[in-house]
Amino acid sequence: MNEIINVTDEEILVGKEDGSTFKVSRSAANYENPKIGDKVKVFETEGQQVISKAQSSTEFTDNLNKVANTVNVINAKETKMNKHLFVWLGAFLFGSLGVDRFMRGQIGLGIVKILFGWLTLGIWALVDWIIALVKVYGSAYHDTEEVTFINGKYSK
């Protein structure tokens, strides 16, 4: 990897891996504020040289984690509720009306379940209730009284 050795107002002195050096004009740097010690990549096209700052793997990973965390924070909608109310009122008693889907934050599926759930002869509501029973009273939420949904899906 090449490294910047010296920076002046007009030129940048770059050291190569083999120990040799070369100079490029300051305008050849395609990033702001080149500093001594920066790891750079050198590209040559039609007699012109361009230097670009090389990211270390830790910088790349840090930037990737920042982007991933930002996306999760912006798009995630978390809903918490009492697991007994969800299973017995939402899914069992009013599941055929889509109440369980509305409680989870899945408004579109709740409306579809109201309109077309009767076509399944109650099977859709029964399956949703069984899934809710297994999820909420199974090993995922056995130690808590709340069930958590993230973007309408069970968090565990």
What CATH number is associated with residue 67? Answer: 2.40.50.140
Q: Alpha carbon 79 to chain centroid distance?
A: 19
124 and 145 both lie in a single domain: yes
100 and 58 both lie in a single domain: no
Answer with the one of 48, 75, 102 that is the final residue of a domain.
75
Residue 69 has pLDDT above 80, yes or no: no
17 and 64 both lie in a single domain: yes
- Both tokens assigned to 130: 């069984």
Answer with the one of 41, 75, 109 that is the final residue of a domain.
75
58 phi, psi to nearest 5 deg: -70, -40
100 and 39 both lie in a single domain: no
66 and 16 both lie in a single domain: yes
Q: What is the pLDDT of residues 75-126, one digit of tens each?
A: 778 899 999 999 999 999 999 999 999 999 999 999 999 999 999 999 999 9
Answer with the one of 44, 75, 106 that is the final residue of a domain.
75
44 and 87 both lie in a single domain: no
Q: What is the pLDDT of residues 27-62, one digit of tens each?
A: 888 888 888 888 888 888 777 888 888 776 666 667
- Both tokens assigned to 50: 């361009």
Global model pTM greater than 0.95: no
Q: How many domains does the chain have?
A: 2
Q: Are 42 and 74 in contact (CB under 8 A)?
A: no
Domain that holds residue 43: 1-75
Q: Of residues 148 and 43, which shows the higher confidence score?
A: 148
144: left (phi over 0), alpha (psi -120 to 50) or beta: beta
